[in-house]
Amino acid sequence: MEEEAIVVFTARSPERIIREGGSQAWVLNAARAKQCKWLVCTQNRNNRDHEFSDATQPHGAAFLLGKVSGVMKTEEESEDGRQRWLVTISKYALINVPEFWEHDRNPVRYFSRFDLEKKGIDFAAVEFKEVQANSKIETAKETFDSGAVSSLTIAEARIGLAKTFGVKPEAIEITIRG
């Protein structure tokens, strides 16, 4: 299967994305995003007046390539009430591919690795660095690992997973190995 990437058009700087442990707060297909191996951040300098913007790179340029480590819900919702998500990364490389963004209306796109390479991302030339632990992400993991998450029935787990992935509960199959 071809490796896939989620490509986002963000007004955040590479320093902030690295500090936050990934790129947020996206309305996206969480099930599909969780299957992606790569995150590519492209710069949106049109939102510089917004409080969340600290854009530093040329408009439309791909500036960060990350190895996706997960997709987490954020506390934010879109204006129409849809869940927003954080795409977390474990490694990153700063890149510079001018005019990467194709002026699409949707700030989230999906590309194959082959398409990324055709557009100028040279995976062989990048040097990845580790992302330092993000306290918010680590707290969520510690909460789960500590047992603070209560026990669930199979039916409850299906309902929760269905909400997370945006599918019907009957589409969830659970296998338990002991």
- What is the residue whose two structure tokens read 């490694």? 91
pLDDT per residue as tens digits for the range 35-87: 999 999 999 988 655 566 688 898 899 999 999 999 998 887 777 888 889 99
Tell me whether residue 165 is in a domain: yes
Shared-domain flag, residues 43 and 120: yes
Q: Which domain holds residue 67?
A: 4-134
If one counts the domains in the chain, the total is 2
Would you place residue 135 in the very low, low, confident or very high pLDDT band (cuts 50, 70, 90)?
very low
Same domain, 28 and 75: yes
Return the CATH number at 26: 3.10.590
Does residue 30 sit in the same domain as residue 118? Answer: yes
142 within some domain? no
Do 65 and 94 lie in one domain? The reply is yes
Give yes or no: residues 166 and 80 share one domain: no
Residues 159 and 130 in one domain: no
Q: Are 84 and 76 contacting, i.e. CB atoms less than 8 angstroms apart?
A: yes
**Quick one: CA dihedral 27, 32, 35, 40, positive or negative?**
negative
Instruction: Indicate yes or no: pTM above 0.85.
Output: no
Q: Where are the beta strands (DSSP E) in the chain?
A: 4-10, 22-26, 38-43, 62-77, 83-97, 108-112, 129-130
User: Is 130 found in the same domain as 153?
Assistant: no
Q: What is the pLDDT of residues 24-46, one digit of tens each?
A: 889 999 999 999 999 999 999 88
Q: Pick from 23-32, 114-123, 159-168 the range whose average pLDDT is largest.
A: 114-123
- Provide, rounded to the nearest whole percent, the portion of the chain with pLDDT above 90: 46
Model pLDDT, residue 161: 76
Confidence of residue 125 (pLDDT cuts 50, 70, 90): very high
Q: Are residues 40 and 111 in the same domain?
A: yes
Q: Which residue has the higher pLDDT, 140 or 159?
A: 159
